[in-house]
Amino acid sequence: MAIAPGAAGEPVRYTLRAGERRLGLNACLGQPLTLAWTGAIACTHCGRATKKSFAQGYCYPCFKKLAQCDTCIVKPETCHFFAGTCREPEWAERHCFQPHVIYLANASGLKVGITRGTQVPTRWLDQGAVQALPILEVDTRQQSGFVEMLFKEEVSDRTNWRAMLKGDTVDMDLPAERDRLLARLGSGLANLRERFGTEAIRQLDAAPAAFEYPVLEYPTKVASHNLDKTPEISGTLLGLKGQYLILDSGVINLRKYTGYEVVVS
């Protein structure tokens, strides 16, 4: 599901992608929607049929051999590129050795996160953040992992997806939170700069971003659909937030079913 910021004063735009076909979901709000899984799953990398999807869209062989499926993607501080054991060194050079941003976001409360500079603001929208603020930029993904570990001593790196989908997130003063955290973690950041170089970790002076999502009605109780257990789900589309469809019958995280063959009607 593709997500893009809306024009000034307009909500985030959602587009459902299926092969070459595109369906604008914002226009479907308030209408009945059915998702029916055919039982087929294809690896999003190699295209082979698979009975089970690994890491949200891969067959098992690709899951075991691709660098983008390695544990260091989730835990960048464990990068083993310089040990000579990276699964795909050329892929790593393109994706891991480029500027990464450390940011604060508010989706269900304050959290810290990291993303490639080219993924701003997509990463925030994927998480359903209503506010976000980039605070630091580093040269590599591994460095972003070390910085995130430092911030995790003071703030969570997780989003409470159920709270995010209830839509009762309270606005925060992210610049004030940034200043508070940078002050508290100054010594740790100084140690990282000494290790990687003064210019390797750069403070950003950015304005906070705010996002509005296309939601007619938030659920008071969040019940999640599972296509593996219930191959066909139906309901009226009430909203879109993060990677979730909010139906009057429950919510579904579409990213979880990447690679599934689904008929939409």
pLDDT in tens, 190-244: 999 999 999 999 999 999 999 999 999 999 999 999 999 999 999 999 999 999 9
For the chain, give every domain's residue range.
2-55+214-264, 98-210
Question: In this structure, are residues 223 and 247 in contact, taking their beta carbons and an 8 Å threshold?
Answer: no
Angle between helix axes 141-151 and 186-196 (nearest 10 degrees) is 160
Distance CA 120, CA 133 (A): 10
Q: CA 59, 145, 110, 14 torsion: positive or negative?
A: negative
User: Using an 8 Å Cβ cutoff, are 93 and 141 in contact?
Assistant: no
Q: How many CA atoms does the CB half-sphere of 167 hold within 13 Å?
A: 17
pLDDT digits (tens, 9 = 90+) for 154-187: 999 999 999 999 999 999 999 999 999 999 999 9
* Residue (of 254, 259, 262) closest to 126 by Cα position: 254
Query: What's the whole-model pTM score?
Result: 0.94
Q: What is the C-alpha separation between 23 and 65, in angstroms, rounded?
A: 33
Contact 237, 29 (CB under 8 A): yes
Beta bridge partners of 116: 100
Closest residue by Cα to residue 134 from 116, 109, 152, 107: 116
Q: What is the three-state SS of 174-195?
A: HHHHHHHHHHHCHHHHHHHHHH
Q: What is the amino acid identity at position 146?
A: F
pLDDT of residue 116: 96
Burial label for 115, CB within 10 Å (0-12, 13-18, 19+), is buried
Looking at residue 252, its pLDDT comes to 98
Quick: pLDDT tens for 87-108: 999 999 999 999 999 999 999 9
Residue 265 has pLDDT above 80, yes or no: yes
DSSP assignment, residue 224? Answer: B
> Which residue carries 């591994």 as its tokens?
142
Alpha carbon distance 227, 245 (integer Å): 13
Q: What is the pLDDT of residues 32-91, one digit of tens each?
A: 999 999 999 999 999 999 999 999 999 999 999 999 999 999 999 999 999 999 999 999
Question: With bands split at pLDDT 50, 70 and 90, how would you rate the model's confidence at 11?
Answer: very high
For 146, the enclosing helix (H) or strand (E) is helix 141-151
Q: What is the pLDDT of residue 17?
A: 83
242 by Cβ neighbours in 10 Å (0-12 / 13-18 / 19+) ranks as buried
pLDDT at 136 over 90: yes
Helix (H, G, I), strand (E, B) or coil at 93: helix
Q: Give the pair of three-digit tokens for residue 161.
A: 């997806």
Average pLDDT, the chain: 96
